[in-house]
Amino acid sequence: MRVLWIGFGQAGGKIADTMMGINNKLYSALAINTEQADLVGLDRIRDKVLIGRYLLKGRGVGADIDLAANIAEKALSQVMDRIDLLVRRHDPEVFWICAGLAGGTGAGGSFVLANELKRIYKNTPVYGMGIIPSVSGMPSDKEALTLSNTVKSFELWSHYFNNILLVDNQQYEQQHVSRESMEHWYHRVNYNLALTLTTLLSAGEIRPSPQEVFSSSEIIATMGMIGDISTIGHCAEEIKLKSRFWRGGMDPGTHELESIIERSVERSALTFPCDVSGARSAALIVKGRPKHLFTQAISVGKSRLEQLTTVGKVRYGDYPDRNSKYLSAITLVSGITDFSRLEQMKRRVAELGSESPAPEQTYTDGVQEPAAV
Ligand SMILES: Nc1nc2c(ncn2[C@@H]2O[C@H](COP(=O)(O)OP(=O)(O)OP(=O)(O)O)[C@@H](O)[C@H]2O)c(=O)[nH]1
Ligand SMILES: [Mg+2]
């Protein structure tokens, strides 16, 4: 699927940059920031826009969502001109805006831009990718600001996108590794996420075509247009290779594949942790060597996903890869209904006695029904 990634703010920019590193044929990208320094480091994105230059002198908004939304609003025509050029050049099938929900620039700017994109490009879906922060080890004043920003921006976002994919940094924490730097950790999140998403988004593009093609229209149908919230699960097992028998790995049989498919929607395997039952739609991609893509196991695994998600019919596609060292399942679950992770954040904000007011509705153009939270 041809995606125009729009990286808003620092986290968003780095994620869009990572996406471009993985597939620059299918993807195009634009980075937007209020901070000059953050744009400079993005090597794989050629199109970059610094907004709020006169007000902020390229030094950022310092986690202020409302200020960021105002600046984005003022910069809309400048940003839309750049997007128009990219649209003409690359003809994207969807826009996907990525940003950290806890910051200022990306959190506040993204929904303003989403609203304008939907107004101008009526037939092109506008998706969001919201990064949920981990607050482990943060002092409590910083934790309060981080969490209240996240809750507030999620509520704002939920009015403006056709779908929001949530990605929780906490899901990628490694309990047994205590000395990983923040930079390395973010890099690992961004890279894993980009690989997983790219497998899903490019499954319909591989040639020769697989048995079951998962096309762009099926991704769009799974994501829907009504502001659903989605999560992606990933489970992979290394396979035993004759040439490298000493390295271990498993001998993939039907049972192993069924189990991999089922484990792809376990809480710990998801980009956003939740109970997947009660979802609105789902799609499964199985990637591995063609001889390991057992039809029977896939069909059993799919039925199991239908039970777990309570989705009537899970969409499916193969991703055959002759050289793969893994057998893996990727499941996109959309229209999730369990937001206990965000509820828990709200409770924590109250507990920390944050002064943060309830989200103000300062921005009301094109409001759609909020997602149930
Ligand atoms: N996964 C991931 N998360 C990141 C990365 N960088 C920052 N974050 C997270 O995103 C949150 C928001 O931070 P930024 O993206 O830096 O914020 P911003 O949009 O630039 O906003 P301001 O700097 O406040 O104007 C942080 O609290 C981190 O939790 C990254 O590269 N990857
Ligand atoms: Mg920033």
Domain CATH for 301? 3.30.1330.20
Whole-number average pLDDT of the chain: 92
Both 196 and 221 in a single domain? no
Q: Give CA–CA dist 236/141, Å, rounded.
A: 39
Residue 168 has pLDDT above 60, yes or no: yes
Question: What is the rounded average pLDDT of the residues 39-58?
Answer: 93
What pLDDT is stored for residue 101 in this prediction? 98
Specify whether 224 is located in the same domain as 311. yes
* Residue 49 clears pLDDT 80, i.e. is over it: yes
User: What's the pTM value of the predicted model, to 2 decimals?
Assistant: 0.93
Omega within 30 of 0 (cis) for the link into 370: no
Same domain, 242 and 149: no
Comparing 280 with 355, the larger pLDDT belongs to: 280
- The per-residue pLDDT for 158 is 97
Q: Both 194 and 237 in a single domain?
A: no
Report CA(369)–ligand 2 centroid distance (Å). 29
Q: Is residue 237 in some structural domain?
A: yes
Counting every residue written for the chain, the total comes to 373
- Give yes or no: residues 27 and 116 share one domain: yes
Q: Show the ligand 1 pocket: residues with CB < 6 angstroms.
A: 9-11, 14, 34, 60-63, 99-100, 102-107, 131, 133, 146, 169, 186, 189-190
- Asked whether residue 229 falls in the same domain as residue 284, the answer is yes
Q: What is the pLDDT of residue 245?
A: 64
Question: By residue range, what is the domain housing residue 87?
Answer: 3-202
Say how many Å lie between the CA of residue 12 and the centre of ligand 1. Answer: 7
> Which ligand is located closest to the Cα atom of residue 35?
2
Tell me the two tokens of residue 37: 């320094």
Sheet bearing 315-320, strands edge to edge: 47-50, 27-33, 3-8, 94-100, 126-132, 163-168, 228-238, 326-334, 281-288, 315-320
Q: Inform me whether the pLDDT recorded for 373 exceeds 50.
A: no
Q: How far is the CA of 185 from the centre of ligand 1 (A)?
A: 12
Atom number in ligand 1 closest to CA 169: 1
Ligand 1 atom at minimal distance to the Cα of residue 33: 20
Looking at the structure of the chain, the number of domains it has is 2
Residue 370 in domain:
no
Confidence of residue 98 (pLDDT cuts 50, 70, 90): very high
DSSP string, 59-128: B--TT-HHHHHHHHHHTHHHHHHHHHHHHHHH--SEEEEEEETTSSHHHHHHHHHHHHHHHHSTTS-EEE
d(CA 78, CA 81): 5
Pair 63, 160 in one domain: yes
Confidence of residue 244 (pLDDT cuts 50, 70, 90): low
- pLDDT band of residue 363 (cuts 50, 70, 90) is low
Say whether pLDDT at 192 is over 80. Answer: yes
Record the tokens describing residue 224, joined without a space. 């829907």
**Least-confidence region, from 110-114, 179-183, 332-336:** 179-183
298 burial type by CB count under 10 A (0-12 exposed, 13-18 middle, 19+ buried): buried
Q: How far is the CA of 354 from the centre of ligand 1 (A)?
A: 21
- Centroid of ligand 1 to alpha carbon of 128 (angstroms): 15
Per the listing, tokens 């205590």 go with 178
Mutate to test the pocket of ligand 1, among 5, 10, 55, 138 (most ligand atoms within 8 A of CB): 10
CA of 102 to the centre of ligand 1 (A): 7
Band of pLDDT at residue 292, cut at 50, 70 and 90: very high
Same domain, 55 and 165: yes
Q: CA-to-CA distance for 348 and 146, rounded, in angstroms?
A: 11
Host H or E run for residue 228? strand 228-238
* The token pair that represents 320 in the structure block: 């055959």
* Range name among 49-63, 211-225, 242-256, 276-290 with the lowest pLDDT average: 242-256
Ligand with an atom nearest the CA of residue 68: 1
Q: pLDDT at residue 6 above 60?
A: yes
Query: Which pLDDT score, from 0 to 100, does residue 59 have?
Result: 82
| CA 295 to chain CA mean position, Å | 29
Binned at pLDDT 50, 70 and 90, residue 351 comes out as: very high
The CATH number of residue 40's host domain is 3.40.50.1440
Pocket test for ligand 1, best of 32, 169, 184 (most atoms within 8 A of CB): 169
Same domain, 194 and 297: no
Evaluate whether 142 touches 148 at the Cβ level (below 8 Å): no
Q: What percent of the chain has pLDDT over 90?
A: 82
Res 60: pLDDT: 78
How far, in Å, is the centroid of ligand 2 from the Cα of 140?
A: 21
Nearest CA to ligand 1 atom 30: 11
